[in-house]
Each structure stands twice: as C-alpha cells, then as structure tokens.
C-alpha cells in the first residue's frame, strides 16, 4: 500500500461507508495528486486503523471515498512526548516532522530562558504533523500543544511520567541506562532546550524535580534539532518500540 496516496480523515472508519471530503482534502486529492474516480486512497483517523478506499466522486471543492477494506488494525504505540523550545521556522518544521516519524504521541513547544523564537503558528505545525503522519505510515497524528512556559507545563506534570532532559553540560558522559524507565510503564517524555541550551537556573530547577533525569547525548554538543532526533532515538531504542 506504500505507493498509494495516504490521507488522514477525522471521521469514523468502517467497511461499506462513504466518506465525504471537504474542500482541502478534495483539492489535495484531485488538484494536487490528480486522482480520478476509481483511484485508491489509504485513509486513517488515529482510532480505527488504516483502510483502503476508492474515489467515488471527484469535484473541485468536494468529493467522496467509498471504504472497501481494512489494511491495518489500530495499534498501540509508546506514550512518548517531546518538549522543545521553538527554533527558526525551518528548524522547527524539521523537529516536528522527525518527531512524528520517530513515534512521538504529543508535541509540546515550551518557552525557556534562552528561547529565541517565542512566536509559533500552532495550526501550521499541526498541519505539518498531519502531513508527516500521512507520509511515514503512522496510524495517528500527534497533537501539537499551545506554546507555554516550560515550568508552567512542568508544574502540572504527572510524576509517573519520567522526563529525560538533554543537558549539554553532560557532553561526553554516558546516555541514560535501559533501567531508567519505571517497570511496566510505557509513558515518557524528552525535553530539548533551545540553541543556547538551558540556563543555570533552569538546569538547577530541572535537577530538583523528582521525575526529571538529565541525560547526555554523546561526546559532542549537538544543535537543538539534532539533539531532539538523537534523544528520541535513544528513548525509542531504550524504552520504546525499537527494542
């Protein structure tokens, strides 16, 4: 099914249904992808698995898909969150895209002391996350949360969700051990700072939190977007669905 067009639709999915398409979906399928009636489209909604559909009507502003058969059932993925300080536009887009590809379930942009991009278009990033899910084969689209101050987010934190924060001061030390996650837990989060890293005050506050653990990402100091990818790979390989 990888060669077929893949589309996220926030509608219930079941065999025998007809799915109405809005103007945005119709434009993508019929103007951009140039599909015609009879073409096959794979759809998913994050709840009901992945389904094979067929274009039954194609218009400029609307259309319809006939649901034929389920391709994949819905599966459970690791409950992994990413907290990161927004960067310049293209780098933020990169972080969101790679987070989706690496299996993140929720994306939480945060403002830190050294954040240099304190404005963020949430709708644009949510659309970017949806497009990344469509392209990478994910069965759901991570929610992009509103931009908030870091410690406002952490003041409401569930202490049962361990938080790995990437501390550039630990460059050269070993990464987090495999036993860092509580037994039986599949929940976790990774925190990556901005281009300037965390301030000394932030680092001290983070280290004082009982659910937070500083981790190193190898012998070199990484760019913020590289650190996000490296930390997510480390978590997935240690605690997630790459094991």
Tens digit of pLDDT for each residue in 185-198? 568 999 999 988 99
CB 107 within 8 A of CB 94: no
Q: CB within 8 A of 116, min separation 6: which ones?
A: 87, 194, 195, 196
SS3 per-residue string spanning 46-66: CCCCEEEEEEEEECCCCEEEE
Cα separation values, 4 from 13, 56, 100, 225, Å: 18, 16, 20, 30
Parse the chain into domains and list their residue ranges.
Answer: 5-72, 79-239
Pair of tokens at residue 119: 């404005």
pTM for the full predicted model = 0.90
5-72 and 79-239 share one CATH topology? no
183: confidence class by pLDDT, cuts 50, 70, 90: very low
Tens digit of pLDDT for each residue in 221-233? 889 999 999 999 9
- Fold for 5-72, please state it: Ribosomal Protein L25; Chain P (2.40.240)
Tens digit of pLDDT for each residue in 139-182? 999 999 999 999 999 999 999 999 999 988 787 666 554 445 54
Q: CB within 8 A of 25, min separation 6: which ones?
A: 7, 9, 63
Best CATH choice for the domain 79-239 from the list 1.10.150.120, 3.40.30.10, 3.40.50.720, 3.40.1280.10: 3.40.1280.10
Q: What is the pLDDT of residue 175?
A: 56
């Amino acid at each position: 099914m990888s060669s077929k067009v893949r589309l996220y639709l926030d509608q219930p999915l079941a065999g025998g249904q007809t799915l109405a398409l809005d103007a945005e979906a119709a434009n993508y399928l019929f103007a951009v992808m140039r599909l015609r009636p009879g073409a096959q489209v794979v759809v998913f909604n994050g709840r009901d698995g992945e389904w094979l559909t067929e274009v039954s009507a194609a218009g400029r502003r609307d259309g319809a898909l006939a649901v034929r058969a389920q391709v994949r059932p819905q599966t459970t993925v690791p409950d992994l969150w990413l907290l990161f300080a927004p960067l310049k536009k293209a780098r933020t887009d990169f972080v969101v895209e790679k987070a989706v590809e690496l299996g993140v379930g929720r994306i939480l942009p945060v403002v830190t002391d050294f954040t240099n991009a304190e404005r963020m278009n949430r709708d644009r990033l949510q659309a970017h996350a949806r497009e990344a899910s469509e392209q990478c084969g994910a069965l759901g689209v991570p929610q992009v949360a509103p931009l908030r101050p870091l410690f406002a987010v952490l003041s409401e934190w569930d202490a049962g969700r361990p938080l790995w924060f990437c501390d550039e001061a630990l460059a050269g030390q070993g990464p987090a051990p495999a036993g860092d996650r509580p037994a039986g837990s599949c929940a976790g989060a990774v925190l990556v700072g901005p281009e300037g890293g965390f301030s000394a005050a932030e680092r001290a506050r983070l280290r004082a939190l009982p659910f937070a653990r500083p981790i190193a990402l190898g012998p070199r100091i990484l760019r913020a977007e590289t650190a996000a990818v490296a930390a997510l790979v480390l978590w997935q390989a240690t605690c997630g669905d790459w094991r």
